[in-house]
Amino acid sequence: MALPRLLMRFMDWALNFDDREGVPEAIFEMECMICHAVSELCDNEGETSQLWALKHTGRHPTHREFKLLTETFWRVDPMPGNPFADMGPLRSLPRGASR
């Protein structure tokens, strides 16, 4: 019995930052490594999270270790010559992005 044949065609793709309108460059959140309290999520600037960490340490002087959580959005785009390039741009925004 012959095994079925599988033909795979490789296409060119590019991994890019998702820079569509409404998609933040990054979302920042700071987490205290002592009590695991977290700052509010903040789009496109980390200063608010940094200020939160300073205030948190001011209220809890032994809490001096933090983890910055940063979320960025990416997409895969078809390169010229890829048959999916003719499909047009993506329509939906990633989860967490504002509309």
Give tens-digit pLDDT for 9-50: 567 888 889 999 999 999 999 999 999 999 999 999 989 999
What confidence score (pLDDT) does residue 66 get?
98
Cβ contact 56:32 at 8 Å: yes
| 83 compared with 43, residue with greater pLDDT | 43
pTM above 0.75, yes or no: no
How sure is the predictor about 87, in pLDDT bands with cuts at 50, 70 and 90? confident
Mean pLDDT of the chain: 85
Cβ proximity of 28 and 41 under 8 Å: yes
Residue 92 DSSP one-character state: S
